[in-house]
């Protein structure tokens, strides 16, 4: 049955909302099941959702380069994303770490210009600078753009912030590389399964600390896995059959949506300076997108 363009676009927009909930949900799961064990459970259950919704890809039809580089970059990114949030010392820090991860849209545009010869105009410069300033504004805490506060904040947990920033770079590379070598193929189910395997290996090699399952943990595990798995499935439908321009524009507001939902889920109030920084990240990413649009 053919799906209308309008319905496909709505399904794609659902993906934006699902992805926006990921930071708060991953953090909630990690509080009960641990950073690594919780992430392993999330990606395992999400892999099952993807198997039922998208199915397992026919790997023989996939370009070998895409399988190798796509797997390596996707798994690396998902590890950075999940563990950076799980390793955060506080809920506020988890939300900040999630915001650092959302540098990837601006970084993706810059990579597309440098490596895919994407045409752009000078608007890319203020857009990229604004996104970076927005992250610095968020990391400055209640003081806003304050280098001393930002430095102290990062020093409190360099692992989480470092993983989030490296993850943003890796996802920008993934988007840039796969656009050239995927030939329209989608290996997300395989990539999720590989991520789960790597996380279980890490969990077992670290001594397999006990996970505390209760109703709270199970509910948030199901929600996080659904947001991950069905988010990718819904986005795939939207990109293939919906209005790509609308979906691309909506995706740049994920940082604000994500912070709002995480603040609700984690019962963590956020300061005015945080929202100012989040808005800068969104606007900067949108400017980068506008700069690379063809006339």
Integer angstrom CA distances of residue 8 from 4, 26, 187, 200, 229: 6, 27, 20, 35, 17
Tokens of 108: 């993706």
Q: Which residues of 126-146 are buried (b: 16+ CB within 10 A; e: fewer)?
A: ebbebbbbbbbbbbbbeebbb
Tokens of 61: 């039809």
DSSP string computed for 258-284: HHHHHHHHTT----HHHHHHHHHHHHH
CA distance linking residue 247 with residue 151, whole number of Å: 35
CA-CA-CA-CA dihedral for 151, 85, 284, 150, to nearest 10? -10
Tokens of 196: 């789960």
- Chain CA centroid to CA 78, Å: 8
What pLDDT, in 10s, does the model give residues 224-270?
A: 999 988 888 887 777 667 776 677 777 778 878 888 888 888 888 87
Which among 257, 271, 286 is positioned nearest to 99, based on CA atoms?
257
pLDDT at 242: 76
Residue ranges of the chain whose pLDDT lies below 70: 1-2, 116, 143-146, 239-240, 244-245, 294-295
Tokens of 246: 């609308």
pLDDT at 234: 83
């Amino acid at each position: 049955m053919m799906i209308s363009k309008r319905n496909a676009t709505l399904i794609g927009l659902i993906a934006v909302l699902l992805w926006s909930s990921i930071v708060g949900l991953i953090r909630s799961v990690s509080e009960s099941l641990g950073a690594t064990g919780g992430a392993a459970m999330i990606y395992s259950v999400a892999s099952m959702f993807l198997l039922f919704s998208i199915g397992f890809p026919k790997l023989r039809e996939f370009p070998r380069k895409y399988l190798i580089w796509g797997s390596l970059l996707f798994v690396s990114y998902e590890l950075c994303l999940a563990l950076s949030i799980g390793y955060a010392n506080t809920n506020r820090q988890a939300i900040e770490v999630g915001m650092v991860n959302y540098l990837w849209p601006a970084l993706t545009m810059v990579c597309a210009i440098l490596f895919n010869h994407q045409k752009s105009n000078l608007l890319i410069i203020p857009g990229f600078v604004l996104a970076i300033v927005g992250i610095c504004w968020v990391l400055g805490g209640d003081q806003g753009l304050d280098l001393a506060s930002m430095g102290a904040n990062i020093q409190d947990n360099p692992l989480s912030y470092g993983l989030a920033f490296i993850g943003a770079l890796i996802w920008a590379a993934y988007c840039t590389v796969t656009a050239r070598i995927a030939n329209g193929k989608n290996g997300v189910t395989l990539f999720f399964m590989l991520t789960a395997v790597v996380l279980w290996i890490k969990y077992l090699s670290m001594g397999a600390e006990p996970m505390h399952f209760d109703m709270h943990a199970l509910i948030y595990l199901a929600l996080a896995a659904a947001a991950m798995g069905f988010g990718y499935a819904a986005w795939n439908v939207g990109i293939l059959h919906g209005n790509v321009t609308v979906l691309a524009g909506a995706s740049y507001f994920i940082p604000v949506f994500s912070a709002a939902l995480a603040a609700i889920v984690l019962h963590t109030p956020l300061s005015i300076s945080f929202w100012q920084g989040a808005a800068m990240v969104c606007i900067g990413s949108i400017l980068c997108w506008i700069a690379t649009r063809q006339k």
